[in-house]
Amino acid sequence: MTTKNRASTDWLVVHCSATPGTMDIGRAEIDRWHRQKGWLMIGYHFVIRRNGKVEIGRPVDTIGAHVEGHNSVSIGICMVGGTDAKGAPEDNFTSAQYAALAELLRDLKAKYPRANICGHRDFSPDKNKDGKITPNEFVKACPSFDVHDWLVATAVLPVTPPKVNPPKTAKQGGWAYHQIVAGDTLFSLARTYAVSADTIVALNPGVITKALKVGAGIRVR
Ligand SMILES: [Zn+2]
């Protein structure tokens, strides 16, 4: 049995290992756990250890095992940690891990520019069909932080070219971002991404003021 290659890469999915912050594990341990479940090998393509070191899991071009229903079109990245001592979700990742995640995502976006970045829980079903995946709908808390908010807050967003592949279902966390460059206006962005200016404002609550800040990432879809 071997791993098969992916035909396309639509998603870069961030996970956590759901282990306490005090547990310094990495690829070797997760690989063992996943093999014990009867899997071929570790399901994630990357593991980011507590010290920020990135370890390679499954070969990056192959189909992983990390997000039900989307494995054939996604890459899985596992941040080690994410729960407290009792196993409850906790955003306890180290700054070295967040820095490593930002760098890894930038590299992957360069290789797969059409891929959207999201967290595992963003693939939860939209039970009340309001177009948003809210905490009460999360199947699991993974990765124990809001990937979208983090991307916006840290402005590590890679430039998303216009007309990226539309997400399979827009309701399941399909975000696209634009990094502001000099000369951008709300209206030029609306034209580029074929949405209304009001939509862009609504997608970025509290973020968009009269002047767009060069370098900031904003959600455009
Ligand atoms: Zn996960």
Which CATH number covers residue 41?
Answer: 3.40.80.10
User: pTM value?
Assistant: 0.70
Q: Evaluate whether residue 124 is within a structural domain.
A: yes
Q: Domain tally for the chain? A: 1
Strands 19-20 and 217-219: unpaired
**Separation of CA 15 and ligand 1 centre (Å):** 4
* Residue 162, domain member (yes or no): no
Domain that holds residue 84: 11-153
Q: Is residue 195 one of the residues assigned to a domain?
A: no
- Tell me whether residue 80 is in a domain: yes
* Cα–ligand 1 centroid distance for 16 (angstroms): 6
Query: Is 213 domain-assigned?
Result: no
Catalytically annotated residue among 53, 140, 148, 171:
140
Tokens representing 177 are 């971002």
Report if residue 196 sits inside a domain.
Answer: no
Measured in Å, residue 6 CA sits from the centre of ligand 1 at 19
Question: Within a domain: residue 66?
Answer: yes
Tens-level pLDDT at each residue, the chain (221 residues): 567 999 999 999 999 999 999 999 999 999 999 999 999 999 999 999 999 999 999 999 999 999 988 999 999 999 999 999 999 999 999 999 999 999 999 999 989 988 989 999 988 777 777 777 677 767 778 999 999 888 877 766 544 433 333 333 334 345 667 777 777 777 778 777 778 777 777 777 666 656 677 777 777 77
Please list, residue by residue across 68-106, b when 16 or more beta carbons sit within 10 angstroms of its beta carbon and e when fewer do.
eebbebbbbbbbbbbbeeeeebbebbbeebbebbbebbe
**Which sign, positive or negative, has the C-alpha torsion 39, 94, 99, 172?**
positive
Q: Is residue 187 part of a domain?
A: no
Name the residue type at position 8: S
